[in-house]
A and B are shown apart, each in its own frame.
Chain A
Amino acid sequence: MSTIAADARLAPRASSRAHSSERLRRYLRNLGTWVLSTVIVVWTLAPLYNMVLISLEPEGDVFTDHIWPRVPSVESFWGVLTQSHWYLEHFWRQFANSLYIGLMVTFFALLFGTLTSFAIGRMRIRHGWLVTNAALLTYVIPASFLAIPFYRIMQNYGLANNPWSVIAALVAFATPYAIFVFQEYGRSIPIEVDESARIDGASPPQIYLRIYLPLMAPALVAVGTYALLLAWNEYLYQFLLLSSKANMTVPVALAQFLSSDQSPWNYMMATAIIYAAPPVAIYYAFRRRMTAGLTMGGVKG
């Protein structure tokens, strides 16, 4: 211990001797920060810039060799918002479908997730680990592997082209993560809180509603945001299961543009930007809480 302290006293003197090399090092460090920042900005924003560039092109002038919009036109955005192109005749309907699916998935993932983690983590039902292990299984198996069987099952049930088939699939994939985060977070709430409520005569549903849910609020926000973004951004299941223009969601409608070589690409990019805006806004609004949820579930022991 004493040698470390001695070294610590020596350290400032050594650094003052190497004052100019210290300044050079700081200069290089700033230069490095500047270069790295430029790389990060270009790397991150290039695809986004490309999107904006194409969306601002007036129709018929797409894919020429310029790198900034020569005649910027917001016509395509206006066209999406007023549904004036036949590709986009149901845009707001499809936007509402996406929102509906997102909200339903969020609601059910939170409901089932909290109920399950309450029964397993707080009430400690016996053999509860069976459920959590099975949940882990669905977390590990990629969703795309189950897409075709799921598609067939939904066809057999007559649920093809029904938003509830998508909601069912996404709830099944979002809830395991919800359960893990809730169990992890729930461990920070002393079990004595539940016990004292029980002594006061509270029934399990009362404890769940009045004590468990309010105390879990931060985790609910984190997981709710996660589930909403998962559902809004999901593509494969919606693409497989939703086929009619009135029932499809925005990502499926976007994929419709790709079925032709002569689509209005400026409209496609404008749709993509409008579709991407809500999740980006939500992500940045709840970023800190989501990160907390992420580390609760993923990193810490």
Chain B
Amino acid sequence: MSSTQQVLAAGPSTLNRPRRRSWHPHLPGVELTWAIAFIVPYAAVLVAFAIYPLVYGLWMASSPSLYLTLFASDEYRDAVVSTMLYVGIGVNTSLFFALLLSGFFMRRSRWVKAMLVVSMLPWALPAQTGFISFHWMLVYWGFLNSVLEKLFGIYGPDWLTHYWLALGANVVASTWKTMPFWTLILLAGRMAIPQDLYEAADIDGATGFRRFVHLVVPLLANLYLVCTLLSAIWMIGDFNTVDLVSGGAPVGSTDVLATLGVEYLFDHGKPELGVAAVMAALPVIVALGILLIRRLQTRDVQL
């Protein structure tokens, strides 16, 4: 059990284990003072700018009538459905293709390495830049329809005025942006598989698809699940993609919880309702967070 897992594990479980060596069993007075002084700056930031906003937000959203208003409104129900579709489809698309791509990038040729460098570009760009470009590519007179018309003679639809097309645009833009990151993580996971295992599989005649199913999948399963959970948490809180790509179009139907919350604040002047809109998803985040921590704890079972 390494110390990261101790860090990530809930506190009491670390008490049962032999403590790692410290400077001293009990820090003498002066050093204890220093240690506390070292922790205080971050502890202050944590309390003032993370825990206090969280508590303040829970307090703002504490009135039950807010939730009655929310659940009675169509736009909120639309946002819940859109969030589930956006996250459900987005996470799996991004991670599935990242898994396949990471296999491609395991090849050792110079060309493939150059491709890896190119494919990282969306991740290196600011999210806003890429998403603005996606938006203007998908408007009726945008680049995509120009390409369809010039190269294939097809007159494309107005992508951002149909619900499914607009939702798809959000998913595609999000995949475009996040897939390089997950590819990199899964590539690191594949690299961590000892070469002997590949060689042993090779000798046993397991190559290509069979090696993937019987060797790579079982060994990467835990990491893949961790990535899925983390990606789901991030996507539930994603504001940029939907705000900038579809902007909620058509008529707010593709709005997700994060964008709807900000709309309640600015367009309707109801900050409490905005906070309640996102805080209603907090139990899901907490559940995913607990699962994530458990998964991180079982990491060392894998190899």
Contact = CB atoms under 8 A, between A and B. Distances in A.
Nearest to A254: B128
A4 interface: yes
A100 B32 CA distance: 35
B47 to A, nearest CB: 8
Interface stretch (A72-80, A89-97, A143-151): A143-151
A119 B279 contact: no
Contacts of A51: 129, 132-133
Nearest to B141: A63
Interface string A225-247: 00000001101100010000000
B28 to A, nearest CB: 10
B7 interface: yes
Nearest to B140: A63
Contacts of B204: 4, 7
Contacts of A49: 143
A204 B120 contact: no
Contacts of B20: 124
Given A54-B136, A140-B233, A275 B188 contact: no
Contacts of B6: 129
A187 interface: yes
- Pick the most buried of A131, A203, A204, A258: most chain B CB atoms within 10 A of its CB: A204
Q: How large is the interface on A (under 10, 10 to 19, 20 to 34, 35 or more residues)?
A: 35 or more
A153 to B, nearest CB: 6
Contacts of B128: 233, 235, 251, 254-255, 272
Interface in A19-55: 33, 36-37, 40-41, 43-51, 53-54
A172 B130 contact: no
Name the residue in B23, B133, B281 with the highest tally of chain A Cβ atoms < 10 Å from its Cβ.
B133
Contacts of B49: 150, 168-169, 171-172
Given A8-B203, A123-B38, A148-B261, 9 more contacts: A33-B104, A44-B118, A63-B142, A66-B150, A67-B150, A136-B8, A151-B265, A171-B49, A279-B126
Interface of A: 4, 7-8, 11, 33, 36-37, 40-41, 43-51, 53-54, 63-67, 108, 111-113, 115-116, 118-125, 128-138, 140-153, 168-169, 171-173, 175, 179-180, 183-184, 187, 191, 194-195, 198, 203-205, 208, 232-233, 235-236, 240, 251, 254-255, 258, 265, 268-269, 272-273, 275-276, 279-280, 283-284, 287, 291, 294-295, 298-301
21 contacts: A4-B203, A51-B133, A66-B146, A67-B147, A119-B39, A128-B39, A129-B11, A131-B39, A132-B7, A133-B11, A135-B46, A136-B293, A145-B285, A148-B261, A148-B271, A172-B46, A172-B50, A180-B7, A191-B23, A268-B132, A301-B300
Interface of B: 2-8, 10-11, 14, 19-23, 27, 30-32, 34-36, 38-39, 41-43, 45-46, 48-54, 56-57, 60, 101, 104, 107, 109, 111-112, 115, 117-130, 132-134, 136-137, 139, 141-143, 145-147, 149-151, 176, 184-185, 188-189, 192, 200, 203-205, 223, 233-234, 236-240, 244, 258, 261-262, 265, 271, 274-275, 278-279, 281-282, 285, 288-289, 292-293, 299-300
